[in-house]
Amino acid sequence: MQPGRRVRTALLVAALAGTLGTVYWASRLPSEPAADDRLVSAEVPRGAKQRSTIEEAARAGGPLDLNRLQRPKSAGPTDDLFGARDFTPKPRPAQRPIAQPAAVAAMPPEPLAPPPPPPPFTYMGRLAEGGQTTVFLAHGDRNLVVRVGDVIDNTYQVEEIGATLLVLTYLPQNLKQTMSIGAPQ
């Protein structure tokens, strides 16, 4: 037997012994009804007939109203259980438009410009000569040599060449973009 099974078996035997002990102890307790139980249930001697509570109340003329015990008639149609039914949803009530100030209602919403595409260039290297830096880029199968102020394909203009960044302007939207060009050597 495995150690885990031994522990589980020992726990089950202990729980069974505890349950049996509790049942034995509870069976030995005196069975006196509580004061509230005596009011609710009265013992009827064997052989005696117990009358119905409804019959007793009716004979005594108590406040029991037998008409209230009858089920009211159904309000729904019960004559044709399998007849055609209309389950189409009811139309929604018309909603009132929300009133807006005249100035806001007259202005058309401003269309959002799509973000510019990321620069399509791959950094190949740089050359620094006498205070002027030249950057070598690849665009598809073309190699480009650019300096500050150059325009590439009428789409990008080189604004600044930094130590680790190349700043380009996307000309169709006049938005500046940066491109990482690595550390200088």
pLDDT tens, residue by residue, 95-123: 777 766 665 556 677 777 788 888 899 99
Residues of the chain with pLDDT under 70: 1-2, 32-64, 66, 72-80, 99-107, 183-185
For 23, list phi and psi in degrees, rounded to 5.
Answer: -65, -45
d(CA 142, CA 170): 19
Q: Degrees (nearest 5) of the Cα angle 68, 69, 71?
A: 95
Distances (CA, A) of 93 to 87, 90, 96, 149: 18, 9, 10, 64
